[in-house]
Chain A
Amino acid sequence: MATTDVALRQATGQAGQKRVVNNMSIQVATVNGSGSQSSNSVLLRSIFQMGVPVSGKNLFPSNIAGLPTWYTIRANKDGYIARKKEIDFLVAMNAETAKEDVMSLAAGAAVLYDEPLGLDKLRNDLTFYSVPYDKLVAPVCPEAKLRKLVKNMIYVGVVAKLLDIDMAQVEKAIRKQFATKQKAANLNFAAAKAGYDYAASSLTKQDPYFIQPMDKTAGKIIIDGNSAAALGSMFAGVTVVTWYPITPSSSLVETLIDYMKEYRIGKDGKATFAIVQAEDELAAIGMVLGAGWAGARSMTATAGPGISLMAEFAGLSYYAEVPGVIWNIQRVGPSTGLPTRTSQGDILSTAVLSHGDTKHIMLIPNSVAECFSMATDAFNLAEQFQTLVFVMSDLDLGMNNWMSDPFEYPTTPINRGKVLTKEDLNRLGSFSRYKDVDGDGIGYRTLPGTEHPAAAYFTRGTGHNEQSQYSERPDDFERNMERINKKFETARSFVPRPEVITTGKAKLGIIAYGTSHWGIIESRDQLRNEYGIETDYLRLRAYPFTREVHEFIEKHDRVYVVEQNRDAQMLSLLKLDIKPELVTRLRSIAHIHGLPLDARSVTDELSSMEGK
């Protein structure tokens, strides 16, 4: 430790302040397109490398450059990585929002600001540090046009100094960030160093926040959910990928393209995949179905607006029984409605996407690790059940960086489902495409190109009999509808089971899913510690619901269903599925602000609904 640290340390504790170690949220307020992304990643990584559990959330506008952006880093020794409502340390870089950002802080927070903004006059219950960025950046960055970018790395150095983040870790993080660009790495480190030196010589530590080394991140990785989904899809053996760009799903396919080019080119230099940017989502899903029908493992990634366009084809897939995987990275919508904000708003519409009676299998990851592992589940289920499988991620999971244990190599073999080959047909003589031979509702299919005169069948929507001949007979139609429903019932025992935590003494249950999980685990502790409310918890991981879900509701007096949408969408699906007498046990806690769910909001609402 440098000796100057000691001096600063001593300066802290003014007014008998208690040191707050490894428990804070840092918010960086910048302008979209100003290049603060790398600085924020470096800050996040530096804390991570010091062994402190951390999460980073980018709150960005639907804009390429010019509008305000906030990046929040939460460091928490207890491993709580949900969004924290309160900001402890603000880095105010955006003149436009600076005033409002400062005014919204709770007393005691610290503010680091660009000197000309003169924010210290705004309030007297905060700690202010000013930094003359323009003066500091000039000597380290002679090239004027790079200064705007490099300036951001200065605050990393200042924050490092003030919070006691190890500069060696900052340097390591910078070198990782600019791995292939040594010059950029040097330049950025010089900027961070200039910030650090300035803080050491000119700022006096007055806030209580510190980062100190821990051992809670050893061996862990940092990755965003979309990259994890891309990796998962590659290891699940995807061969045909189609897409139409849309935030927040584009990066999933863009990352997948990189991975596939690196790891899925054969020794002969030929691709073992095809990736096509389609003309729209109608074509994207059509290609997925064409490929799935012809036997490929096919997928697309999209968000709500794309899902809406896919509706007709989704129904055809359901009735023609064609496999495919669709990643739905949920966001707020439609049109220009907060497209860059997170949401769990497509649960209900995706579950029944299309017209007529349709019910789709949905998998719901809560973590980057599940984005990875559920890819294999999704492709296997799609081929096993010959239907679309939707993986319901969201913007918070997909586009933000999360720490995780390294992913485990998939142990489940690739399951191609019931496909008859030429040899099978030689043995059987013929087959009936839509006949329930095994009692699970799932028929046998053949792939186009199978060299057998009895291999072909005619694929169409609902109007067919067991031999896939055109039929409008009521009995054929009804039998087919019932069989397809049976498949869905069969799927209940094959989809991922929920994660259930029971304390054995709770009358209250919480049901949540996806990224809400992170707020819930923290909220349960708050409810216990602050209100003495004990809760059991079930995290849904799939639709259709499995046996455990019904049992959980049956075992609790009241069950709070927490979700990030207005209309209690999952609760509605549960209502359709559970015994009518249990319906009144369900209570909704719904959040619709476009920000990732935080624990405090849940705790406040649940405790007040419990009359506390």
Chain B
Amino acid sequence: MATTPTSTPAPKTNRIGLTVLDYRGGKTTLCAGCGHNAISERIIDAMYEMGVPPERVIKPSGIGCSSKSPAYFMSRSHSFNAVHGRMPSIATGAVLANQKLIALGVSGDGDTASIGVGQFVHLMRRNLPIIYIIEDNGVYGLTKGQFSATADLGSKLKTGVINDLPPIDTCAMAITLGATFVGRSFSGDKRQLHAMLKAAIAHKGTVMIDVVSPCVTFNDHEGSTKSYKYMKDHEEPIQDINFIPAFEEISVEYDPGATVQVTMHDGSRLQLHKLEEDYDPTDRIRAISRLHEAHENNEVLTGVFYVNTKAPSFIDMLDMTPEPLATLPESVVRPGREVLEQVMEGLR
């Protein structure tokens, strides 16, 4: 018998006592090196660090390699792998049924910008509280590499086919339509995506993040504008992002001239240290025009393009009881006999 017992140190836990393992999902079946896997990892880390109870999270998705990924993170959260391009409606219904849920929707560029563009547009307009992530590889991965509508002009497929249609900029679209937290990141930019996701969790309203996420199998070659190499060469972050959650009582000094600080709904602080002079993420019009300029200059801008913490969310507009509609008791949802009597009297 050993005299000095060896104790393994207790695993690290977050503020609600869960370990990072509690945020894991099933083993991925996506290709090794697929950008989508890296995004799943960032989601796990962000949710863990923010101390979000996994049971309160729902993971609706559409169809595609990207839309499969909710199976690979947060197994303790309900998932709904819906039909192609219709994640927004599933998410909307679920959030209406239970406004206490935290919705993290995953979609692809095909799922969002082609078949699902109608639902995407209207979700943005409603400013429904949801984190909408596009895992954007410029192609349809699951159907083996056809162009999607986010593919850049002149981008080349493995087969040599050149894209001759202009891309849809989902971020410019989201800002135009009313989303209140809009950004672009890169699955390979660990630090930036991580900070952005944490801020997204603190936001109340539609968060739309377009994450460039290379498809190693169909769109990572020379001539692609969504490859790891292209992104490493062309990514232009407009800010250095620092996120300080409300539960961390630390004060971080910042220079108001060089940094924009946004106070989020829960009191968290989002500090955007300007890498581009004069960029103001609360100016919608300027944000949209800057995105269009980027296309002209072949730059891939990343960062938080627009944030607005004042706009009412769809839930606010509906003026519902704070209790989830899903579990309201019969006594609340079925009016009494006297109501039916009164209505009948009026019809006599």
Interface residues, chain A, with chain B CB atoms under 8 Å away = 219-223, 231, 234-240, 242, 259, 263-264, 266, 268-274, 276, 278-280, 282-298, 312-313, 316, 320, 406-407, 409-410, 413-414, 446-453, 455-461, 469-470
CB–CB A298/B344 < 8 A: no
User: A276 contacts which of B60, B92, B332 (Cβ < 8 Å)?
Assistant: B92
Contacts of A295 in B (CB 8 A): 97-98, 324, 326-327
Contacts of B60 in A (CB 8 A): 290
Complex CA gap A5/B332 in Å reads 55
The 8 A-B residue pairs with the shortest CB-CB distance, nearest first, are A290-B93, A286-B89, A295-B326, A296-B97, A237-B333, A291-B93, A294-B97, A287-B93
User: B334 contacts which of A235, A273, A292 (Cβ < 8 Å)?
Assistant: A235
| A284 nearest CB neighbor, chain B only | B89
B70 to chain A minimum Cβ distance, whole angstroms, is 8
Complex CA gap A259/B340 in Å reads 11
A368 to chain B minimum Cβ distance, whole angstroms, is 10
CB–CB B348/A283 < 8 A: no
CB–CB A316/B76 < 8 A: no
CB–CB A239/B334 < 8 A: no
| A470 nearest CB neighbor, chain B only | B71
Interface set, chain B 318-343, CB cutoff 8 A to A: 318-322, 324-328, 330, 332-335, 337, 339-340, 343
CB–CB A221/B347 < 8 A: yes
Interface of B is mostly: helix
Complex CA gap A300/B270 in Å reads 40
Contacts of A446 in B (CB 8 A): 78
User: B347 contacts which of A222, A266, A294, A414 (Cβ < 8 Å)?
Assistant: A222
| B81 nearest CB neighbor, chain A only | A460
CB–CB A297/B98 < 8 A: no
Contacts of B80 in A (CB 8 A): 290, 293, 320, 459-460
B167 on the interface (CB 8 Å rule)?
A: no
Contacts of A461 in B (CB 8 A): 81
B155 to chain A minimum Cβ distance, whole angstroms, is 29
B237 on the interface (CB 8 Å rule)?
A: no
B288 on the interface (CB 8 Å rule)?
A: no
B75 on the interface (CB 8 Å rule)?
A: yes
Interface residues, chain B, with chain A CB atoms under 8 Å away = 22, 26, 53-56, 58, 60, 70-71, 75-83, 86, 88-98, 100-101, 118-119, 121-122, 318-322, 324-328, 330, 332-335, 337, 339-340, 343-344, 347-348
CB–CB A264/B335 < 8 A: yes
CB–CB A458/B343 < 8 A: no
Complex CA gap A450/B78 in Å reads 9
CB–CB B348/A293 < 8 A: no
User: A273 contacts which of B325, B330, B339, B344 (Cβ < 8 Å)?
Assistant: B325
CB–CB B79/A239 < 8 A: no
| B60 nearest CB neighbor, chain A only | A290
Complex CA gap A105/B85 in Å reads 55
CB–CB B82/A316 < 8 A: yes
Instruction: Give me 22 A-to-B residue pairs in the complex whose CB atoms sit less than 8 angstroms apart, sorted by A's number.
Output: A221-B344, A221-B348, A235-B334, A235-B340, A236-B334, A237-B333, A239-B325, A272-B320, A272-B328, A278-B89, A279-B118, A283-B88, A294-B94, A294-B326, A295-B326, A296-B96, A316-B83, A406-B344, A446-B78, A453-B54, A457-B78, A459-B79
CB–CB B321/A288 < 8 A: no
B306 to chain A minimum Cβ distance, whole angstroms, is 23
Given contacts A237-B333, A279-B122, A458-B71, contact A449 B101 (CB under 8 A): yes
Given contacts A316-B82, A414-B334, contact A240 B321 (CB under 8 A): no
Complex CA gap A17/B332 in Å reads 61
CB–CB A413/B79 < 8 A: no
Given contacts A286-B86, A290-B80, A297-B333, contact A456 B56 (CB under 8 A): no
A427 to chain B minimum Cβ distance, whole angstroms, is 17
Beyond A282-B119, A407-B344, 7 additional pairs, beta carbon < 8 A: A270-B321, A274-B318, A284-B89, A296-B325, A449-B101, A456-B54, A470-B71
User: A268 contacts which of B76, B86, B100, B321 (Cβ < 8 Å)?
Assistant: B321
CB–CB B55/A453 < 8 A: yes
Contacts of A449 in B (CB 8 A): 55-56, 58, 78, 98, 100-101, 324, 326
CB–CB A286/B55 < 8 A: no
User: B98 contacts which of A263, A285, A447 (Cβ < 8 Å)?
Assistant: A447
CB–CB B79/A240 < 8 A: no
Contacts of A236 in B (CB 8 A): 334
| B330 nearest CB neighbor, chain A only | A414
Complex CA gap A270/B332 in Å reads 12
CB–CB B322/A270 < 8 A: yes
CB–CB A298/B76 < 8 A: no
| A234 nearest CB neighbor, chain B only | B335
| A286 nearest CB neighbor, chain B only | B89
CB–CB A240/B340 < 8 A: no
A47 to chain B minimum Cβ distance, whole angstroms, is 15
| B92 nearest CB neighbor, chain A only | A287
Contacts of B118 in A (CB 8 A): 279-280, 282-283
